[in-house]
Structure 1
Amino acid sequence: MDHAETITLADGARIATWTRAGPAEAPHVVLLHGGPGLWDYLEPLAGLIGDEATTHRYDQRGCGASSPSDEQSVARSVADLDELRAHWELDRFVPIGHSFGATLALAYAAAYPERVPAVGYVSGVGIGDWRTPFRNERRRRAEPFAARLAELSVPQRTADEEVKWRTLTWATDYADLTIGLRAASAMAHSPHVINQHANRAVSFTDADQIGWAAAVRCPVYVVHGTADPRPAANALQLADRLARPRKRVVTEAGHLPWIEQPEQLRELLAEIVQAGRC
């Protein structure tokens, strides 16, 4: 069972967290959600890790059930994560991040290399122009409902329209559109508001990422689905900048590979956690 706790940081920000205890001597893993501006949706990853580790999850600053905050940056996110680490009394832990969370995991490992024995970089965007092919592929996948999506793409939406817009937008992240519509609908019904300010303000450049990659000395597991609309090639370009890359492909999976290929993810997560024991 997850232990829910709201942790107050030094500046007064309140962070909603969940911890799932593993065996006493097991490594600790912190799961980092994407966005920026979304909320924790990584409970399934904690389930796949099972008894391999103690897992910690949280809603990032200003997001989900955490308190509002106008202060948004990668540096602030890294500092928040280290405050949480201190609260959890962890000397070392394995950050496993998804999408933007993968970038945050890398940035943290660069800032505190002595605290990180391994990194999970899952479905990260990498470096180079990933946006153009991503937008083209998302547009292609959305063709069956393009007219309805255009109607919903307005500044103000009702609650029902917001759920529908999220569902149709996020469904294109999956290899199988039928699975995508079902999975995206479940996430779209979250009561949390997307923090658009965080999405705009938490920015980083290729130069930032290349610098972080150069500073990380531990193994970094670059995990990417073959059907992710965000091209694997860009993540692999970043992997080539790492001292100890571990490139892992998830076949027939999109941006959230644990939804479509849970057993492949279970094996990869076990490998990452095992590296964290070293």
Structure 2
Amino acid sequence: MTPTRRQDTAVTADDGARLWASRSGRGTPGTTPLVLCHGGPGLWDMFDDMAGMLNDRATVVRWDQRGCGRSEPCAGPWTSGRFVADLDAVRRHFALERIALLGHSWGASLALNYALAHPERVAALIYVSGTGIGPDADWHGAYEANLLARLGEAPQRLARWRELPEASRERAVLQWSTEFVDRERAIEHAEHMADPWFPVNSPCNKALNAEARQTASTPALHSACQALELPVVVVDGERDIRPRSAVDSLVRALPQVRRVTLANAGHLPWVEDPDGFRDAVMMAMTAAR
């Protein structure tokens, strides 16, 4: 029987890098296991709450990406192809033939890239709070303006954010507080994201973001998405500070896609609309059978 308690383990990638991973939940017969891909790049798994709301319906596997969080420090390489291979090592470690794959933010791009590379191993894709397959110009300028506007609601927070070192925990908490619609609880939610706290992997972040800028909006990427014959559920928080219109090009390209927009949620919709988020994930899990 699939375990209900969380079991942490180390996964060894094909180049010897060791990755933290964890399995929890109780999958019923015929239920596809669910693998989660966290955001960043350069951050770590923050999906305790998400896994908790899904553990009664599926086996849930989480992992920290290469050189990040609880995974072993390493020197890379920081490429999407390498991270796709690491994700496949996690799948093999847990002896999962086919998976439902959920990616959040940068992790949504990683999950999409994995599905494009290995569609036979993915039963369904859940694309949460991603930024689509177009150029950064589709969203990044508006994101920066919205970030500063939300920080500016409390001028002392904006001033403090500007003076702090880029990789500090306090600065991250202030920045992450902009991701929530409920402004009274925004700092509380952001503090929860930062517990536990690990050093941000800045080289990883810079390299993968640079790669993403080069590969976005290419004809090859659009063609690959048009040929992806598996069910995809796109989940948006309507009040994410990244314009949701950035995802439109991906939705247009995918042949089997449903979009769920949660009206009173930001970038982490499972925090602010857990029932709506769970329903969206269960929709995808049902399609994966």
- TM-score, with normalisation over the residues of structure 1? 0.93
The one-letter amino acid of 1:149's match is L
Q: Distance in 1 between matches of 2:49 and 2:165?
A: 32
Amino acid at match of 1:210: H
> For structure 1, which runs of at least 5 residues remain unmatched after alignment?
none
What is the aligned-residue identity percentage? 36
Confirm whether residue 79 of structure 1 aligns to residue 85 of structure 2.
Answer: yes
Residue in structure 2 matched with residue 222 of structure 1 by the alignment: 234
- Deviation (angstroms), 1:189: 4.0
Aligned to 1:123: 129
Secondary structure of the structure 2 residue equivalent to 1:5: strand
1:191 aligns with 2:202: no
1:40 aligned to 2:41?
A: no
What is the rounded CA distance, in whole Å, between the counterparts of 1:143 and 1:154 in structure 2?
A: 14
Check if 1:201 corresponds to 2:207: yes
3-state DSSP of counterpart to 2:19: strand
**Is it true that 1:137 corresponds to 2:143 in the alignment?**
no
CA deviation after TM superposition for structure 1 residue 43, in Å? 2.0
Please give the alpha-carbon distance, in whole angstroms, between the structure 1 residues aligned to 2:124 and 2:283: 10
Aligned match for 1:59, one of 44, 64, 82: 64
8 Å contact 1:107–1:212 — kept in the other structure?
A: no
Distance 2:126 2:159 in 1: 35
Following superposition of structure 1 onto structure 2, how do residues 168-183 of structure 1 map, counting pairs within 5 Å?
A: 168-183=174-189
Distance 2:171 2:197 in 1: 14
Question: How many angstroms does 1:144 deviate by?
Answer: 2.7
For residues 230-272 of structure 1, the C-alpha deviation after alignment (integer angstroms, 9 at most, x for no partner) is 1111112211111111111111100000111111111111111
- Determine the structure 2 residue equivalent to 1:272: 284
Q: Could you say which residue in structure 2 is the equivalent of 1:262?
A: 274
Question: 1:37/1:89 Cα in 2 relative to 1: closer, same or farther (>3 Å)?
Answer: same
Could you tell me the TM-score, scaled by structure 2's length? 0.89
8 Å contact from structure 1 (residues 37, 198) kept in 2: yes
Q: Which of 12, 19, 24 is the equivalent residue of 1:15? A: 19
The worse-fitting range, judged by mean Cα deviation, of 77-86 and 144-153 is: 144-153
Query: Partner residue of 1:213?
Result: 225
Q: Secondary structure at the match of 2:206?
A: helix
The answer to whether the 8 Å contact 2:25/2:54 transfers is no
> What amino acid sits opposite 1:35 in the alignment?
G
Distance 1:154 1:213, change over 3 A: farther
Letter in 1 for 2:49: P
RMSD: 1.8
Q: What are the superposed Cα offsets for residues 169-219 of structure 1, whole Å, 9 maximum, x if unpaired? A: 111111122222110022234330111111111132222642442342101
The residue aligned with 2:257 is 245
Structure 1 position 3 matched with structure 2 position 15: no
User: SS where residue 84 of structure 1 aligns?
Assistant: helix
What residue ranges of structure 2 are gaps of 5+ in the alignment?
A: none
Aligned length: 274
**1:109 equivalent in structure 2:** 115
- Contact 1:27/1:52 (<8 A) preserved: no
Contact 2:240 2:265 in 1 (8 A): yes
Secondary structure of the residue aligned to 1:165 is: helix
